[in-house]
Structures are given as C-alpha cells and as structure tokens.
A and B are shown apart, each in its own frame.
Chain A
C-alpha cells in the first residue's frame, strides 16, 4: 500500500518567489496536516484540513495557505518566500481529524536562496 506521498522531494527557490507543495494521503484518510521542520528542531504545526475544510492553523503568517481537494489530496502554498522559510515540509494524513493515527510522508526539502 502507498503511504503518504509528497512532491517534489527537493526544491530550490529564490527569495520573493512563490512555491506550491503537494501531498497525497493514504487511501481512505480524510485528514491532511502540514508541518514545518527547521533543521535541528521538531516539526511545527502549520495547518490541518479535514473533509476539505480547515480545522486548525498554527502560528504562521498569511503568506502560508493550503487547501484540500475532493480526493483528499492537499497543496501548501507559500508566497513571498523568505530565507527563513527554508525547511523540510511534512505532510501527515489520518483517518479522522482528532490527531491520532497520523502517518507522515518523507517531506519536501525547500531551500530559499
């Protein structure tokens, strides 16, 4: 069975650009969450989507946005990239929206130069 898949695996962008990261959840999972992991730290919560609606949002600026599609896949968008946005972006899916049973993907490594 396919796990959580994320694309692309690596990405290099210039300051001020826009980026879109993609996530496909495990089949049957209705919830997708996004986390940012800066080198040397634990992941930080950005968003959770459940049944195509935003359920929760972390302490991130409005430059960060996301959406979930009818097939439960999700996109994370970041506008006006800053050097500090360089991180590993992780997607996690779960069957329900309560924070249990999360499975993480391998992430997208974003480097902003």
Chain B
C-alpha cells in the first residue's frame, strides 16, 4: 500500500566516503538501464546508463555495475560530496524495441554528512 512506498531505503555516509546504491530489476529482457538522481522539487537527472551487453561502465566519480544473472544493478559514487545528497532511482527500459518505457525502482535516499 501507500505506506510501503513512503519507506524508501536510506544510505547515510560521511563526506569523502564511497557510496554504493543497489537495485534489483524485474525484466530479464530489459536491454538498457539508467541511474537517475532526483533532488527535492526537481525532475530526475540522468547520471549514467548501461546496455545489457556490458557489465560495467564508468563516468566521472560514478560506476554502474550490471549483473544479469541475478538481475542486479549497482551505482558506486566515489568521494561522495554533500551535493550528492538526493534520491537515487534505477530504471530499466521495458518497452523493448517498440517504444521507450522506463520502469523505475523504488529509490534510495542518500544523505551525505559533512
């Protein structure tokens, strides 16, 4: 019910630590995955993406790992900063080749303490 949706997983870290946010996805046929960051009052902001033919992709301070065997995604943020505090969502493209439909995970609240 609605009360379950309000209890998002939370991760609290100190500034400078590395953060790891995990996500389980639902569709083994999904071929494209994205991590988004959402700050209060704003829309989701693209962080990094990965296609299903890859296991790992690196960006600036971020790395996404994909484990298709167990349908698991993770986002690693290096040297976490207070500005990284936000809700993080993973999303998978479940529309196949016909159209774009993103199915979002529950989200994780990341809090970075100075």
Contact = CB atoms under 8 A, between A and B. Distances in A.
Interface of A: 4, 31, 33, 35, 38-45, 48, 50, 55-56, 58, 90, 92, 94, 97-100, 102-107
Contacts of A40: 2, 5-8
B99 A50 contact: yes
Contacts of B32: 99-100
B102 A102 contact: yes
A28 B102 CA distance: 21
Nearest to A88: B43
Interface in B81-107: 89, 91, 93, 95, 97-107
A45 B102 CA distance: 7
B107 A48 contact: no
* Interface size bracket, B side: 20 to 34
Interface in B22-47: 32, 34, 36, 41-46
A99 B93 contact: yes
Nearest to A40: B6
Contacts of A55: 98-100
Interface of B: 2, 5-8, 32, 34, 36, 41-46, 49, 89, 91, 93, 95, 97-107
Given A50-B99, A94-B100, A99-B32, A41 B49 contact: no
A42 B105 contact: yes
B47 to A, nearest CB: 12
A99 B41 contact: no
B86 to A, nearest CB: 13
Contacts of A104: 36, 43-45
Given A40-B5, A40-B8, A41-B107, A105 B100 contact: no
Contacts of A103: 46
